[in-house]
Structure formats: C-alpha cells, structure tokens
Structure 1
Amino acid sequence: MDERGNRWSELTGGEAGERYAARFAALAESGTDVHGEAHFCAGLLAPGSRVLDAGCGTGRVAIRLAELGHSCTGVDADASMLAQARRRAPEMAWCEADLVEVADLGLEPGFDMAVAAGNVVPLLAPGTEPAVVSALASLLRPGGLLVAGFGLDADHLPLAEATVTLAHYDTWCVGAGLEPLSRHATWDGDAYTGGGYAVSVHRRP
C-alpha cells in the first residue's frame, strides 16, 4: 500500500467505518434519500454495466448500483470502511488498496464507469491526484465515464480548506486522455453555475 497515506486516513486514523455506516443508516431511517449518487450514475449507464467504485467506503454507492443490476467492484484504502461493505454485501468484489495503486490490482479493464463520490478526490494523498485520475481512466473502456463529486470549499469538505479546484481536476482529466461531458451542482443533476460543490462527468474517447 502506498506509504504516503491519504488525507482521509489522517482525519480518521482508519477507524471510521462503523461510525460512517451508522450515520447513513440513521439518515435512511429518517426518510432521507441516501442513494443520490447511485441513481445519478445509473441514469448514465446501460443495463448490466461494469462499475468501479473508487474510494467505495462502506459500499453504499456500489451496493445500490448492484441492486439496480450493475456489476460493481469497490476499492478503498480504509480497512474499517471495507469491513462494513463486506458485511453488507459479502458476495461483491471489494479491494483494499490506495487508489494510486488501482491500475496494479489486476482488475480487468473495460469498465463502463468509474465513480469517485464522497469527496474522494480532495482526500487523496497530496501529489497523487493526477496519477489516480490517470489510473482510473486507464481502466475505462472507450466511451467509458469517470464521475467525480467533491467539495470546492471548506463548507463542503471535512477539511479546513479546499485542496482541489475544478481547473486542477480538468487538467488532470485532460492529461489522462479524458474529455469533459457535463458538470452539475448536485447529484440530482442540477446544472453547475458556480458554488462549493460540483459533480463532473468526463468520458474516455
């Protein structure tokens, strides 16, 4: 595993899985829709697509997409988060690794989508972001999509300040051979006109 560590592990000490799962379970019980990311992604996919959930955490997005008929693989560096994912869906494929290593895991390329929800990109190890974007792009089929949603200011991040701008992210995507497809302000698909959160969709030509 990459020894540099990521910002998520620095924040949580690698012991956030149970708390994170409990938080979303409580939200779901209160009637809150906790599957916005999965439903947004499903709207971009053909039936039975292959999806890589990059930074899958407790598996919330991947498990819902699997329930909708897609074949999903989850990758995360946090063992405590993956323990929750494996408990909820032991039949699914879960890989423990830093995303900078995702292209070296022996995963079969040709994914229809790679999704990085939940502020994955700003919480990567500093300096690894371009390599992670390139690695994810390399696993997509031609026409495959990279979908990433993340905060652009402290109000939308578990950090004191933003670590990534949209200009940075777009540059990394271009460097990985991806082209912009659409950008949204929310996982409901609202058009992005500025603000502290963005969902970006890029495509491998």
Structure 2
Amino acid sequence: MSGRTPSQWEELTAADPAHSTWYVERFRALAAQGTDISGEARMVDAMLARGSRVLDAGCGPGRVGGYLHRAGHTVVGVDVDPVLIAAAEQDHPGPTWLVGDLAELDLPGRGIAAEFDVIVCAGNVMTFLAPSTRVAVLQGFARHIAPTGRVVVGFGADRGYEFAQFLADAAQAGLHCDVRLSTWDLRPFTDESDFLVAVFSR
C-alpha cells in the first residue's frame, strides 16, 4: 500500500480475495430478479437538473452512477477496488469509472473538473473507510462540490461509525448538514433510526 492507510474494504478483500466478485454477482442477481436496487439513485436524480455533474464516491459495481448516467447526467465513479470498477465498466458503460482512494481524491489532478452538483456516497461506503481517513474523505468531498452543490451520504448503524461522530466529522470538514433522513425514500430521521441519509452543503 506504499505509505497510505488501507481501507477496511481493502483489508476485507485481502483476507478474502473472492469477496469482490461475490459482491458484484450479488447485485447482478438482485437486478436479474427484478429487485429494486435504484432507490438511492432515484433520490439523487430528484435533486438534480438534467445534465448535472455527479460524483459516485465509492461507486462499487456502478449501480447508482449507472442509473444516473442513463437519466442524463454526467457521472464520474471512483472506487478503490479494481474488480468493482471493471464490473461497472462492463455493466454500466458511459460514465467515467476510476480506481482511486477517496482519502486521496484529486480529480483535477487526473484531468477531471472538480465541481460536481452532487456527490453521492451510498452502500455503507463510509463505514468501510479506515477510521483515520474519514475526515480527509469528507474534506475531499467538500473540495469537489460546486458552490451550490450537495453531498449525500447514507450508511447503517452498528457498523463502527456512530452517526453523531460522522456528523461532527462532516462539520469539521466544512460541510453543513441540511437534511437528515432515515431512508432513501425520505422518511424522517429519529433518535431510534438505524440508518442515516444526510444531505450536506458547503
């Protein structure tokens, strides 16, 4: 890993090299069965004008970014796992899919304009980060949104990242929480919620 801190996802896949392929096939099977796997993307799409710029942060095999591309947006997806990026390229052609570490996010350095209308980080990605890199990832999000852009993050409880700590980290990173929900279908967040979807602005 040459000096950088590996994410918990990288540690998981190093211990079980078949995990990434299992993850890809799981979502392919769900889609083939007709399961709705696009709820996150529909919520994000509702926030955007046609032709908006979207960063799918921790894009995995591309289900969110692929949907948003088909809805008419310009999508860049970044994930640390090359197996997942390869699946995104195969299953969802059109977006720009990049292997990269969210803790070192520098898209202008890769020739890509940094100002996104929305950054979406779904699929419990925040809980797979190395804890020491969480604030850096959130700071990277803040650097990559347009002045009126928004960041949308969703993850579940009991995964090692308390919601209160996450919200404090986001504030430290320069992000202001505008909305808290308990689901991607817009149900209000309460003290009993076991899932958080948070919408931030700068």
Relative to the length of structure 1, the TM-score reads 0.89
Gaps of 5+ in 1: 154-161
SS at the partner of 1:164? Answer: coil
Q: Tell me the residue number matched to 1:36.
A: 39
Corresponding position of 1:23: 26
Q: Does the CA contact (< 8 Å) of 1:16 and 1:81 recur in 2?
A: no
Equivalent residues of 1:103, 1:136 under 8 A apart: no
Aligned to 2:183: 186
C-alpha offsets along residues 4-24 of structure 1, whole Å, 9 cap, x if unaligned? 211112222254333222211
Task: Give the unaligned 5+ runs of structure 2.
Answer: none
Q: CA shift at 1:54, angstroms?
A: 0.5
Look up the SS of the partner of 2:153 in the other structure. Answer: strand
Choose 69-78 or 86-95, whichever is displaced more: 86-95
Structure 1 residues 97 and 15: CA distance shift in structure 2, 3 A: farther
Equivalent residue for 1:117?
122
Q: What is aligned with 2:11?
A: 10
Q: Would the aligned equivalents of 2:69 and 2:94 in 1 still touch at CA under 8 Å?
A: no
Percent identity at matched positions?
40
Shift, 1:25, TM fit: 2.0
Question: In the superposition, relative to structure 1, how do residues 171 and 102 fare at CA in structure 2: closer, same or farther (>3 Å)?
Answer: same
Which residue identity does 1:178 align to in structure 2?
A: L
Kept in 2: contact 1:110–1:141 (CA 8 A): yes
In the alignment, what sits opposite 2:194? 196
What is the deviation of 1:74?
0.4
Root-mean-square deviation over aligned CA pairs: 1.6
- TM-score, structure 2 normalization: 0.91
Change (3 A) 1:20 1:147: same
CA distance in 2, matches of 1:84, 1:30: 18
The list of structure 1 runs, each at least 4 consecutive aligned residues, that deviate by more than 4 angstroms after superposition, is none
Q: For residues 63 and 34 of structure 2, what CA distance do their matches in structure 1 show?
A: 16
Deviation, 1:128, is 0.3
**Residue 58 in structure 1 maps to residue 61 in structure 2:** yes
Relative to structure 2, which stretch is displaced further, 142-151 or 174-183? 174-183
Rounded to whole Å, the distance in 2 between the matches of 1:50 and 1:76 is 17
- d(CA) in 1 for partners of 2:117, 2:71: 15
